[in-house]
Chain A
Amino acid sequence: MTAIDLPVAGKRPMSPTAVVMLLLLPIAVINAIGFLWPVVNLLRMSFRDSEASGALLETSGLTTWINVLSDSFTLDLITGSIGVSLFITVLTLVCSYPIALYLHRCSGLWRTVLLVLVIAPLLTSAVVRTYGWIAILSDQGLIANALLALGITPPRLMFNLTGVIIGLTEILMPYMILALLSGFGRLDPRFEEAALTLGATPWKTFWRVVVPLTAPGMALGCLLCFVLAISSFVTPKLLGGGRVFLLATEIYDQAIVTLNWPMAAALSIIILVLFGFALALYTRALRRIA
């Protein structure tokens, strides 16, 4: 007899389905209040009419959505944001993979120390870390001075797309490394040894065995980093110098500076839809891998 079947004070035992439903209820409520309700509000806001002053009218209509979807700027914004985020995601993957692989193979105290080093940046805010990059990338910064000392005129490393890519890549690396590590469970060193004894060079072993086995981790890391990159706001704002136009920064400008809340809401919904696409792509990729 299992614990669930025990009759309690004459009451009939709950069915397992009912227990599951009951346990899911709190998170469902939290989700409804914390996510669904704001999204519904956002959606409603995107249909509100507004005046040039930013004043919201009581009426609703399609004006904002027509503007958003017909304006070449918004379309550039969407494609540009996706492109930049994908580039950052791939760069983050390339930079994080060796670190994650090394960490996976470490053990004991050394692994703990390295893991703390990887996670440590997450303990400071993205703002602080971005200011750190400003100190390194600015015209009087570390890299510029080093290049000058070598007699090279330093290129612009920040207040442009380069700076945003460098900053975001570093900021997203801990997430990628942790996601990769969580997906490296299947990567038993015996598989690599088996491949080596079967005549595969280390290079072939990496591509034929290590990469496919770590693909689920890579997919998860890429999903996470893409979503974080396309919704990141602080770093593009601080390192972009007003030259980089991304969805998230545009939402900020529309909401805070131009005071066009319906437009900000519409762009937010577009990001949400992009999340949905990314998630669907991830699920499909995962099914292909598994």
Chain B
Amino acid sequence: MIRTAPEETAGLKQGEGFLSLRGLTRRYGDFVAVDDFNLDVPKGELVAFLGPSGCGKTTSLRMIAGLAPSTSGHIVVNGRDITGVPPYQRDMGLVFQSYALFPHMDIAKNVAFGLEMRKVPKAEAAERVREAIAMVRLTGKEHHRPAQLSGGQQQRVALARALVVRPSILLLDEPLSNLDAKLRDEMRNEIRDIQKRLGITAVFVTHDQMEALTICDKVVVMNHGKLEQMGTPHEIYEHPKTAFVAGFVGRINRLAGKASGGVAEVAGLKVAAPGFNGPVEVMVRPHRVSLSTDGVQADGERHALPGTVTRATFAGDILEYEVEAGGTIMKTEAATRGGEAVLAPGTPVTLSWRPQDTYVYAAS
């Protein structure tokens, strides 16, 4: 069975959003940074905007926050059109990549800033600041300056500052990219926990597909200002709608072929390609490809392709091979089990994978 991109993405239906974008567009002269962006985010969900740099994800976030003007389209929050509303009346919490903590204020004053602007009574504000600082586990650091804290601590202050005002929407702009790998995992879970606990609707901008897949309820993949696909992490990974999504989210092997009459011919294989005619790209993820030395034949269960090992990489928990097959270099990877032999370059092998792991796209 062949899985091409499903027609309808589950979960996100028109009119269901707490945050809705309607035809949101941003042009700089001839350049279209964000093109006709439509989105509905249900209350309490965490949505990731995922894409390479320059794809329009940060511009979209800034338009939602009111920090960048939109050329056309509408932003609706809880049924209220806030398109022309200035940022200070939008009631959103924004966490910056650079944290943007006020360097001339201590931690408590940073966190209290939003409450002060909202003229929250002093006693209540103090209590809420205390709670917010406790929530991000920084009690005792109230009177430190931002520069005295580590990157992770600063990020937590930024989160507390954004959340203490109880915003209707939390916006996070690449909040983890300035942290080291270990801290990143920790902070990711912490942000997710807090978001779930508060039940706050949130938008998380990132260029890191791992981050997007692991943290979010929904992922919106963007490229060149356009929405490529939106769906749950599982949908995005297992059913990439476009060649771009398949290539950007997770690793992929690409084979060039030609389709006619619902079947694509690729390196001697016949792959089902309903609805395709002309040049196509056939893709399969490296870890879905098995490698064997005992000459498996293609049958109805698996596609098989003969090849020769050109490089073997032992990476501890996985074993990677690069195999010359079908006129290109195919990659495979498998978890190590211990004791298996590493094949030497030049070893003839057969690659095989299940038809349902095969994606077919029209060649661009």
Contact = CB atoms under 8 A, between A and B. Distances in A.
Q: Do chains A and B touch in the complex (CB under 8 A)?
A: yes
Interface of A: 186, 188, 190-191, 193-202, 204-205, 208-209, 212-213, 215, 289
B257 interface: no
- Interface residue SS majority, chain A: helix
Which interface class (under 10, 10 to 19, 20 to 34, 35 or more) fits B? 20 to 34
Contact of B96 (A194, A201, A202, A212): A194
A191 B87 contact: no
Contact of B113 (A186, A188, A195, A289): A195
Interface of B: 65-67, 86-94, 96, 98, 100-104, 113-114, 117-118, 161-162, 165, 171
B103 A194 contact: no
A190 B114 contact: no
8 smallest beta-carbon distances between A and B, as pairs:
A198-B114, A199-B117, A190-B100, A194-B100, A197-B94, A196-B87, A212-B104, A200-B117
B67 A186 contact: no
A215 B101 CA distance: 17
Contacts of B104: 212-213, 215, 289
A213 B96 CA distance: 18
B87 A193 contact: yes
Most buried by B among A199, A205, A212, A213: A199
A243 B92 CA distance: 59
Contacts of A205: 88
A197 B161 CA distance: 11
Contacts of A191: 100, 102-103
A200 B96 CA distance: 17
Contacts, number: 70
A188 B98 contact: yes
B114 A193 contact: no
A127 B102 CA distance: 44
B121 to A, nearest CB: 15
A193 B100 contact: yes
B77 to A, nearest CB: 14
Given A199-B114, A199-B165, A200-B117, A194 B87 contact: no
A193 B94 contact: yes
27 contacts: A188-B98, A188-B100, A190-B96, A190-B100, A191-B100, A191-B103, A193-B65, A193-B96, A194-B101, A194-B161, A195-B102, A196-B67, A196-B87, A196-B88, A197-B66, A197-B67, A197-B88, A197-B90, A197-B93, A197-B94, A198-B88, A199-B114, A200-B88, A200-B117, A202-B88, A213-B103, A289-B104
Contact of A204 (B87, B96, B117, B165): B117
Most buried by B among A191, A196, A213: A196
Contacts of A196: 66-67, 86-88
Contact of B103 (A186, A195, A199, A204): A186
Nearest to B67: A193
Contacts of A200: 88, 113, 117
Contacts of B114: 198-199
Contact of B102 (A197, A199, A209): A209
B69 to A, nearest CB: 13
B87 A197 contact: yes
A194 B117 contact: no
A200 B91 CA distance: 11
Contacts of B87: 193, 196-197
Most buried by B among A188, A198, A202, A213: A198
B66 to A, nearest CB: 8
B158 to A, nearest CB: 8
A48 B90 CA distance: 73
A215 B105 CA distance: 14
B161 A198 contact: yes
